[in-house]
Amino acid sequence: MPSLEKLILADNALASIPEDVGQLSALRMLDRGHNKISVLPDSIGALTSLTDFLYLHDNALQSLPESLARLTSLRYLNVSDNPLRVLPSCIGEMRSLIELRAENVGLLELPTWIGRLTELRELSLRANALDALPREITSLGKLARLDLRSNNLTTLPQELLELPKLDKLDLRWNNALQAPEWLSTLETRGCVVYL
């Protein structure tokens, strides 16, 4: 089916994705969420027409293939609820991403390459184990929403003030975080801050 543009196979208890998925050269949307997939085939990187979304939420993925770096037109990626523990650098090559969801994946740190995703408008990192953010996050000049709920944050970089579009910052359930005084500056300019 070389002309197929949308493939949704969520909630099917699938354990794998066949290697020949890479032949779906016109695919714009791929949803394999809520399955039991533990490995993605390298051929998924051949889906360079993927623009709308790649939904891999709630699987058993412990890693992602480096071939994903070829998905440079992808705008939405959800890898939440997978035991990844780290975000691989291939995601840092997805320069068209507008929304990245990596909730409950066991992150201990956010990689510095996050600053390369300059088109991001929404970044959701809820329910991880982050205790700090890299200063490179301030390169995300279009970021509007940052969800950091339920992490282990103890500090925040004051450079978050340099994010001109930020209108929602969710910091709830970071029990060790002492709210810095400069958060009031964000609120004054219209950013909603949840503590």
Report the pLDDT value the prediction gives residue 194, as an integer from 0 to 100. 98
User: Residue 184 carries which DSSP code?
Assistant: H
- Alpha-carbon Rg of the chain, whole angstroms? 17
Report the pLDDT value the prediction gives residue 2, as an integer from 0 to 100. 79
Report the pLDDT value the prediction gives residue 85, as an integer from 0 to 100. 97
Asked whether residue 90 carries a pLDDT value surpassing 90, the answer given is yes
Nearest to 152 by CA among 134, 132, 136: 132
Asked whether residue 1 carries a pLDDT value surpassing 90, the answer given is no
Cα(122)–Cα(136) distance, rounded to whole angstroms? 16
Contact 129, 108 (CB under 8 A): yes
The correct answer on CATH 3.40.250.10 for the domain covering 51-194 is no
pLDDT digits (tens, 9 = 90+) for 46-79: 999 999 999 999 999 999 999 999 999 999 999 9
Domain-wise residue ranges, the chain: 51-194
- Average pLDDT (11-15) is 96
Contact 169, 144 (CB under 8 A): no
94-100 own/partner pairs: CB under 8 Å, 24+ apart: 94/68, 94/69, 95/119, 96/51, 96/72, 98/122, 99/75, 99/123, 99/124, 100/124
Confidence of residue 141 (pLDDT cuts 50, 70, 90): very high
Residue 132: C-alpha distances to residues 128, 135, 155, 165, 180 (Å): 11, 9, 6, 21, 14
pTM over 0.85: yes
Cα(103)–Cα(41) distance, rounded to whole angstroms? 22
Report the pLDDT value the prediction gives residue 27, as an integer from 0 to 100. 97
If one counts every other C-beta atom within 10 angstroms of the C-beta of residue 60, the result is 13
Contact 49, 27 (CB under 8 A): yes
